[in-house]
A = this chain, B = another copy of it.
Amino acid sequence: MQQIDLHPLTAAAFLPFGQVIQTEGADHYAINAGMTERYHDLAAVELTGANPRPLISIFRGQPYQLPLPLKMMERHPLGSQAFYPLSAIPFVVVVAPDNNGQPGRPLAFITAPGQGINIAQNVWHGVLTPLQQTCDFVVIDRGGDGNNLEEHHFSTPYLIAATT
Could you give, for residues 37-66 of chain A, a 1 whenever the CB lies within 8 Å of some chain B CB and a 0 otherwise? Answer: 111111101010000011111111110100
A69 is an interface residue with CB less than 8 A from chain B: no
A121 is an interface residue with CB less than 8 A from chain B: no
Indicate how many identical chains form the complex.
2
Q: Is there contact, CB below 8 Å, between B41 and A143?
A: yes
Residues of B within 8 A of A23 (CB): 58, 60, 136
Chain A count of residues within 8 A CB distance of the other chain: 42
Residues of B within 8 A of A118 (CB): 56
Q: Is there contact, CB below 8 Å, between B143 and A54?
A: no
Residues of B within 8 A of A56 (CB): 21, 41-43, 45, 82, 84, 118, 140
Instruction: Give min CB distance, A73 to chain B, whole Å.
Output: 12
Residues of B within 8 A of A140 (CB): 54, 56, 140
